[in-house]
Structure 1
Amino acid sequence: MAPQRFHEQFDQIQRSMPDVPLAMGPDDSAEFLYEKGVVLARDGEEARLVEDTVRTHFTAAPDLSADHVRRASPETNRTGITRIQVGDPSAGDRGGDLAVAHALRALREPEGRAGRRLISRNHVVSIAVNACPGDEPVPAPFSQGTNPVPAEDAHDPETAVGVLVIDTGLTHDYRADPLLAHVTGDGQVRETDGDGVLQQYVGHGTFIAGLVAAVAPNTDITVRNTLNDAGAILESDFGHKLFESVDQHGWPDIISLSAGSSNGRVDGLLGVDAFMRELRARGTLLVAAAGNNSSATPFWPAAYAGLSDDWADCVLSVGALRSDGEFGACFSNHGAWVRAYAPGERLTSALTGFASPVPYVYQHSTYDACRFGFQYACTCQYPRHTGLLSETRESTGGKADQVMFEGYAHWSGTSFAAPVAAGLVAAHMSARKERDPRTACRQLLSANTEYAEVRGAHVPALRPPTWRPVPVRPAVPA
């Protein structure tokens, strides 16, 4: 049986957030994760309206209880969002939360002032994207170098483009790679477990920083460790952490973000709304991963790029091309809200430094065939390995494949297509001496003459000059 990655990742994320009971929604199709027993509303009058409306609705319903309806957080969060408890978080199973569903239904009519949304689930924002990574990293020989190959531009502190990467932290020995000489930021909170084995997603932020630095050497890259816990954080906390990042480092030229969530709606995440509105008022460009769900469902905050021309000017949403650069990768999200695609399959960058080899145990087993129905040797099925969390553990005696990382890795996901595109914008700024990243992004897209095919549509393809395409192999026989 093919491993059910979402359910495997659900357990992994729940262990990393033991004090936050989670549910999956909107049903077992698992479009997103969210906090059980809690909804979000804007502070002040709207929060009071939500609380009163839900309490009245629950009081009139024989199968619901209004006893748990109360404010769950003070009105002090800079995001302007309040958590309201509407049910017992210990009730029910992980397949959904009836209390939250009924609370949302209570505010459905009317939707609010001029269609303004008043209530939301508290979604889990994750670098895994729908809790399912594009794949897990594979060791890459040092002799083959990185892909993209580092460009030859020189680093100039006076003109370097500022790039803020909001992700996992940097591995402790990242400076052993000369490519990362101009990278600063937070360290990974915990790299290995008690047995010295590299934990899942460790190196994600380091890998991304290496991609930006390779495509655009004239950059000053700062990495924040906002997403250390299995690459996941609650929406209500994420908005606050985004503000913390820019408060600490200032608003950069470019933010590279490889995280998000779908929410079953087309108007964004309530918990990051305040940050996104301030971003729009600034000059910063947000380059955001489109997600690895192989879906056209909007994925936030990348999908802000498709809301209106105002948002398109300040958000570049990026999908992933497969290793030959000619078609979309099997896992990549797609749709009109994805503005461009960049290489995102089997890229090569630094996972750790080179101080000493470190073991990694695979968490997910590969599939017998592409889980999204594609007919090439994609990362769903190749290279083959058995993972610790997968359902196959019963037939393998709980054993999983282990590898050693000594610096570089191959890794796939829109997580990595986004920083490639961010690097291209930064490189364009340096080459054209353009100080406005949004102007540079418009110029880059309008001058682009390369296209790829994604789901039958011809889409803008941003391929770095130093990126080396890898021929696509036929599907691996089961």
Structure 2
Amino acid sequence: MAPQRFHEQFDQIQRSMPDIPLALGPDDAAEFIYEKGVVLARDGEEAQLVEDTVRTHFDRTTGLVADRVQRVSPQTNRSGITRIQVGDPGQGDGRGDRAVAGALRALREREGRTGRRLVSRNHIVSIAVNSCPGDEPVPVPITEPPNPAAAEGAHEDTAVRVLVIDNGLTHDFGSYPLLANTQGDPQVQETDANGVLQQYVGHGTFIAGLLAAVEPNTDITVRNTLNDAGAVLESEFGDLLFDAVERDGWPDILSLSAGTSNGRVDGLLGLDGFMAALRDQSTLLVAAAGNNASATPFWPAAYASLPDYADAVLSVGALRSDGEFGACFSNHGAWVKVYAPGERLTSALTGFDAPVPYIYQHSTYDACRFGFTYHCTCQYPGHEGVLSDDGSTPTPDQVLFEGFAQWSGTSFATPVAAGLVAAYMTANKEQDPRVAARELLTGNTEIAEVRGAHVPALRPPTWRAIPTTSV
């Protein structure tokens, strides 16, 4: 039986955040992950209003304890968000949270009257989308060229500044010539006690390698903002983004391959403060559309569809390896502004200094888990993983990484698009990344087909298509 990756990754994220009980939402539909027993509200009068309203509602609701409603320390942050405990996070399992659902219902009528959002779940923002990238990395011989291959260009004083918010750089990233000028944080822990590479390690390095290949004239900084499972609470994420841009200064381009859906069309409450600050800068946020194969808005990428952020955010979906159609895993919809190659790309990972073993966590499927008929990453290359939902314990496949990897996901289409914006800035001596993105898309004539619709597509000149075959 094929593994259910969202539930597997839910377990992994829970292990990486052992002190924070988590639930799947909405209810047990498994579209996102959130903190049990807690909701978010804006600090000040709105937080007090949420507390009072929920407490009154619970007084009238059998089984929910009004006395449990209280603010949770720390009460505020720079994002102006307060965590309010509304239930016992130890009750129940991961299939939803009755107290949180009750708190949302308690405010629904008031929100409807005012037209203003007052309360939210505390979602998990993660690079582990659905809840992982399109697949797990596959070793590629160091003798094979990267894909996209390195474009021509010299590193100049006018290099475009790109900040990558992800996990950290692997220890030997500097052995890859394209990353010679890259800087940033190291990966906290690359391997387990047995020397085996941990899941998602190299994610930020892979992204930096793609950026540097598409546009060598970039100053790339990679920040280890996300932990080993690439997950952080929404209530903390805004502050972490503020930390990154204040440490390095607002960049030209902020490349972010993380996010969450939340079942809404008005963004993440926990990012209100950061997004307002971003709007007043010239920085362009290039964000991954997510790998849920869904049209549900995925944040912060979906801010690109909101009028206040149309110029500030570029949302990026993934094309399959032939570049003609959308990848099976890619999110889609009018809120996705452009698509770029995101399946079976080749970039730097780790193992340049010495080969590093990796054990696959997920087994591949007999058929595409999203119902597509081409030979997609769900099926190929085939391997047995550690995790299984049928109680079996397959013998997992082990591989060695020696520098390069092939990997898929909107996580990687994102730096490809960011690199093309940077390349446009360099070629046209354009200092404003938002102007560059707008002009790049306006002048672009390339299209692809995604779910029957013709959509804008950005394909780097050095990218080579890999033909697909039907199953």
Relative to the length of structure 1, the TM-score reads 0.97
User: Structure 1 residue aligned with 2:410, among 408, 411, 414?
Assistant: 414
Runs of 4 or more consecutive aligned structure 1 residues displaced over 2 Å after TM superposition: 73-76, 390-393
- What's the CA shift for 1:60? 1.6
For residues 30 and 173 of structure 1, the distance between their equivalents in structure 2, rounded to whole angstroms, comes to: 37
Q: Residues 17 and 229 of structure 1 are in contact (CA less than 8 Å); yes or no, is this contact kept in structure 2?
A: no
Tell me the amino acid that sits aligned with residue 273 of structure 2: A
- What's the CA shift for 1:141? 1.1
Q: Does 1:336 align with 2:324?
A: no
Tell me the amino acid that sits aligned with residue 97 of structure 1: D
Instruction: After TM superposition, list the pairs within 5 Å mapping 1:417-436 onto structure 2.
Output: 417-436=413-432
Match of 1:34 in 2: 34
- What's the CA shift for 1:133? 2.3
Q: Residues 370 and 381 of structure 1 are in contact (CA less than 8 Å); yes or no, is this contact kept in structure 2?
A: yes
Match of 1:351 in 2: 349
Match of 1:183 in 2: 182
Instruction: After TM superposition, list the pairs within 5 Å mapping 1:356-375 onto structure 2.
Output: 356-375=354-373
Match of 2:256 in 1: 257
For residues 342 and 388 of structure 2, the distance between their equivalents in structure 1, rounded to whole angstroms, comes to: 24
- What's the CA shift for 1:393? 6.2
Match of 2:124 in 1: 124
Residue 67 of structure 1: SS of its match in structure 2?
Answer: helix
Q: Which moved more, 1:434-443 or 1:20-29?
A: 20-29
Match of 1:55 in 2: 55
For residues 285 and 462 of structure 2, the distance between their equivalents in structure 1, rounded to whole angstroms, comes to: 23
Match of 1:242 in 2: 241
For residues 457 and 268 of structure 2, the distance between their equivalents in structure 1, rounded to whole angstroms, comes to: 27
User: Structure 2 residue aligned with 1:381, among 371, 379, 382?
Assistant: 379
Residue 319 of structure 1: SS of its match in structure 2?
Answer: strand
Tell me the amino acid that sits aligned with residue 409 of structure 1: A
Q: Does 1:218 align with 2:217?
A: yes
Q: Residues 359 and 397 of structure 2 are in contact (CA less than 8 Å); yes or no, is this contact kept in structure 1?
A: yes
Match of 2:470 in 1: 474
- What's the CA shift for 1:114? 3.6
For residues 391 and 216 of structure 2, the distance between their equivalents in structure 1, rounded to whole angstroms, comes to: 43
Q: Residues 34 and 122 of structure 1 are in contact (CA less than 8 Å); yes or no, is this contact kept in structure 2?
A: yes
Q: Which moved more, 1:177-186 or 1:386-395?
A: 386-395
For residues 250 and 411 of structure 2, the distance between their equivalents in structure 1, rounded to whole angstroms, comes to: 21
Residue 255 of structure 1: SS of its match in structure 2?
Answer: strand
RMSD: 1.0
User: Structure 2 residue aligned with 1:465, among 456, 461, 464?
Assistant: 461
Q: Which moved more, 1:271-280 or 1:57-66?
A: 57-66
Tell me the amino acid that sits aligned with residue 53 of structure 2: T
Match of 1:43 in 2: 43
Q: Does 1:284 align with 2:287?
A: no
Q: CA 1:393–1:145 in structure 2 vs 1: closer, same or farther (change >3 Å)?
A: farther
Match of 2:446 in 1: 450
For residues 244 and 137 of structure 2, the distance between their equivalents in structure 1, rounded to whole angstroms, comes to: 27
What is the CA deviation profile of residues 175-218 of structure 1, one whole-angstrom value per residue up to 9, with x for unaligned ones?
01011011100010110000000000000000000000000100
Tell me the amino acid that sits aligned with residue 345 of structure 1: E
Tell me the amino acid that sits aligned with residue 36 of structure 2: K
Structure 1: give runs of 5+ residues left out of the alignment.
Answer: none
Q: CA 1:112–1:71 in structure 2 vs 1: closer, same or farther (change >3 Å)?
A: farther
Q: CA 1:317–1:61 in structure 2 vs 1: closer, same or farther (change >3 Å)?
A: same
Instruction: After TM superposition, list the pairs within 5 Å mapping 1:288-307 onto structure 2.
Output: 288-307=287-306
- What's the CA shift for 1:64? 1.2
Residue 222 of structure 1: SS of its match in structure 2?
Answer: strand
- What's the CA shift for 1:228? 1.9
For residues 207 and 390 of structure 2, the distance between their equivalents in structure 1, rounded to whole angstroms, comes to: 31
For residues 10 and 368 of structure 2, the distance between their equivalents in structure 1, rounded to whole angstroms, comes to: 21
What is the CA deviation profile of residues 8-37 of structure 1, one whole-angstrom value per residue up to 9, with x for unaligned ones?
111111000000000001032200000000
Q: Does 1:146 align with 2:146?
A: yes
Residue 332 of structure 1: SS of its match in structure 2?
Answer: coil
Match of 1:173 in 2: 172
Match of 2:100 in 1: 100
What is the CA deviation profile of residues 16-73 of structure 1, one whole-angstrom value per residue up to 9, with x for unaligned ones?
0000000001032200000000000000000000011111111121221112110002
Tell me the percent identity: 76
- What's the CA shift for 1:131? 1.3
- What's the CA shift for 1:353? 5.0
What is the CA deviation profile of residues 98-151 of structure 1, one whole-angstrom value per residue up to 9, with x for unaligned ones?
000000000001106741100000000110113132100000111111000000
Tell me the amino acid that sits aligned with residue 406 of structure 1: E
- What's the CA shift for 1:392? 5.7
Relative to the length of structure 2, the TM-score reads 0.99
For residues 132 and 247 of structure 1, the distance between their equivalents in structure 2, rounded to whole angstroms, comes to: 29
Q: Residues 175 and 353 of structure 1 are in contact (CA less than 8 Å); yes or no, is this contact kept in structure 2?
A: no
Residue 221 of structure 2: SS of its match in structure 1?
Answer: strand
- What's the CA shift for 1:249? 0.4
- What's the CA shift for 1:76? 3.5
For residues 379 and 351 of structure 2, the distance between their equivalents in structure 1, rounded to whole angstroms, comes to: 28
Q: Residues 122 and 234 of structure 2 are in contact (CA less than 8 Å); yes or no, is this contact kept in structure 1?
A: yes
Q: Residues 316 and 339 of structure 2 are in contact (CA less than 8 Å); yes or no, is this contact kept in structure 1?
A: yes
User: Structure 1 residue aligned with 2:437, among 441, 454, 468?
Assistant: 441
Tell me the amino acid that sits aligned with residue 447 of structure 1: G
Tell me the amino acid that sits aligned with residue 408 of structure 2: S
Q: Residues 201 and 228 of structure 2 are in contact (CA less than 8 Å); yes or no, is this contact kept in structure 1?
A: no
- What's the CA shift for 1:395? 5.0
Tell me the amino acid that sits aligned with residue 209 of structure 1: A
For residues 17 and 386 of structure 1, the distance between their equivalents in structure 2, rounded to whole angstroms, comes to: 26
Residue 220 of structure 2: SS of its match in structure 1?
Answer: strand
Q: Residues 204 and 222 of structure 2 are in contact (CA less than 8 Å); yes or no, is this contact kept in structure 1?
A: yes
For residues 358 and 310 of structure 2, the distance between their equivalents in structure 1, rounded to whole angstroms, comes to: 39
For residues 42 and 130 of structure 2, the distance between their equivalents in structure 1, rounded to whole angstroms, comes to: 25
Q: CA 1:380–1:249 in structure 2 vs 1: closer, same or farther (change >3 Å)?
A: same
Q: CA 1:454–1:197 in structure 2 vs 1: closer, same or farther (change >3 Å)?
A: same
Tell me the amino acid that sits aligned with residue 435 of structure 1: Q
Q: Residues 387 and 393 of structure 1 are in contact (CA less than 8 Å); yes or no, is this contact kept in structure 2?
A: no
For residues 274 and 320 of structure 2, the distance between their equivalents in structure 1, rounded to whole angstroms, comes to: 32
